[in-house]
Chain A
Amino acid sequence: EAGVAQSPRYKIIEKRQSVAFWCNPISGHATLYWYQQILGQGPKLLIQFQNNGVVDDSQLPKDRFSAERLKGVDSTLKIQPAKLEDSAVYLCASSLDTSTDTQYFGPGTRLTVL
């Protein structure tokens, strides 16, 4: 069974530029998560989708971050404009249903903002 796919794996941009990350969850998983992991810390949830609806986006900096999951499968996370402090690994995860189910993670996208 294919795991969670993410692209790109690495991205380097200058501050104030925009960037987008893509995620394809495990087939059949209703719930999709985006996490931000700053170096030396545990992952922090940015947004959670169940099918194509947002369940929790309380920690998403909505002035610059946006995410969508239009058809309830793939998802895109965008940052516009990027700041230096956005340098981090962006992890996508999926689970069968709720957050108490096991979440399976993709390889992540390492973003460097110069």
Chain B
Amino acid sequence: AQKVTQAQTEISVVEKEDVTLDCVYETRDTTYYLFWYKQPPSGELVFLIRRNSFDEQNEISGRYSWNFQKSTSSFNFTITASQVVDSAVYFCALSEEGERQLTFGSGTQLTVLP
């Protein structure tokens, strides 16, 4: 069965600090997909990234970067030079090739203080 763990329930940083959100996953499949979503106070889940299990290259998109390490079953998310608008709940999620559903972690509440 697939499982996603986000051990950090809440993180608070001051604007311009870098912050890393951890995500550890469990799966028995060799083919799977990992996702990150952002949920601002408005409530809508905003898609950030999708990564398949065969692509371990790190990804950078502006101030966002993702570190995928199969050896430790982790898919961590770093925000560089954080801004107040980054304040949100961030969810990591996993979908196995053979499963039908997307399994979410419990989320990390990030608060960026001015």
Using CB atoms and an 8 Å cutoff, list the residues of chain A in contact with chain B.
Answer: 33, 40-45, 48, 55-56, 89, 91, 93, 98-100, 102-108, 110
CB distance from A103 to the nearest CB of B (A): 6
When the two chains form their complex, are residues B100 and A107 in contact, meaning their CB atoms are under 8 A apart?
A: no
Nearest chain B residue, comparing its CB with the CB of A9? B43
CB distance from A43 to the nearest CB of B (A): 5
CB distance from B25 to the nearest CB of A (A): 13
Cα A71 to Cα B45 with chains together (Å): 26
Chain B contact-residue range equals 20 to 34
CB distance from A35 to the nearest CB of B (A): 9
Q: Which of B8-41 contact A (CB under 8 A)?
A: 32-33, 35, 37
Say yes or no: A43-B45 contact (C-beta < 8 A), given A99-B95, A102-B35, A102-B50: yes
Nearest chain B residue, comparing its CB with the CB of A107? B44
When the two chains form their complex, are residues A107 and B43 in contact, meaning their CB atoms are under 8 A apart?
A: yes
Nearest chain A residue, comparing its CB with the CB of B37? A105
CB distance from A73 to the nearest CB of B (A): 20
When the two chains form their complex, are residues A100 and B104 in contact, meaning their CB atoms are under 8 A apart?
A: no
Nearest chain A residue, comparing its CB with the CB of B92? A42
Say yes or no: A99-B106 contact (C-beta < 8 A), given A106-B44, A107-B42: no
Report A-chain residues with C-beta under 8 Å of the C-beta of B44. 105-108
Is B7 at the interface (CB under 8 A from chain A)?
no
Say yes or no: A110-B43 contact (C-beta < 8 A), given A48-B100, A56-B101, A102-B35: yes
Cα A43 to Cα B35 with chains together (Å): 13
Cα A100 to Cα B45 with chains together (Å): 17
What are 14 A-B contacts defined by CB distance under 8 Å?
A33-B102, A40-B106, A42-B93, A43-B91, A56-B101, A89-B43, A98-B100, A99-B95, A99-B101, A100-B33, A102-B47, A105-B37, A107-B44, A110-B43
When the two chains form their complex, are residues B47 and A48 in contact, meaning their CB atoms are under 8 A apart?
A: no
CB distance from B43 to the nearest CB of A (A): 5
